Structure 1
């Protein structure tokens, strides 16, 4: 049996679902200093409320609270139930150090220890 809801009730349920996601999510994107709250994220994209964001496109930074997670290249995909869905073209994890341009051996020394100066 399929339940059919009136348009007004369905819109109310969608609005309540969106409000619940907005309150529970810590995810956000930063685009040129403007912050947009992210409702949900999956492997290939994320969703933002339609009224919060226009059709965004380009390079954005994705945060979980204060933690910078990814630098992403995105494009708007489609609108669905009050949310704008975005697709990742690229999502590069943010690290606290530069990538090595060579292979580092597992037993490589951590630092250089010099012999003590004999003149002291």
Structure 2
């Protein structure tokens, strides 16, 4: 698409696109002590920068900044241009409170007023 542009302009556009992706995304994958920034995320997988990532396999955690969002099981990866695309087998949201063994009512008052 940009073949008619000079090489320097194409490189500048590519660097600007990569810088915008780094600013925009807060999602990251934590694999033990290693942290990788997610470039794209969809229902069946996610993509990381090819140069800054390694092949992941197994159980990983996905964070949005400091907030733990998901746990997932990565099963495969494919190199696609300048991205490494990962697919996962399952994706489980992380609960922010303990599981309840009873039905919670839809309406709960914020506080009770005593007379």
- Normalised by the size of structure 2, how large is the TM-score? 0.73
Pairing 1:1-120 to 2, within 5 Å after superposition: 3=1, 5=3, 9=7, 12=11, 13-100=13-100, 102=101, 104=103, 106=105
Choose 1 or 2 for highest CA Rg: 1
Query: 1: CA distance between counterparts of 2:96 and 2:87?
Result: 25
Number of aligned positions between the proteins = 104
1:54-106: CA deviation from partner (whole Å, max 9, x where unpaired) = 11111111001111110111133311120000111111000023334x56274
Query: 2: CA distance between counterparts of 1:64 and 1:80?
Result: 24
The RMSD of aligned alpha carbons is 2.8
Q: CA deviation at 1:5?
A: 1.7
Q: CA deviation at 1:40?
A: 1.2
Q: 1:33–1:16: structure 2 CA closer, same or farther, 3 Å change rule?
A: same
- Normalised by the size of structure 1, how large is the TM-score? 0.71
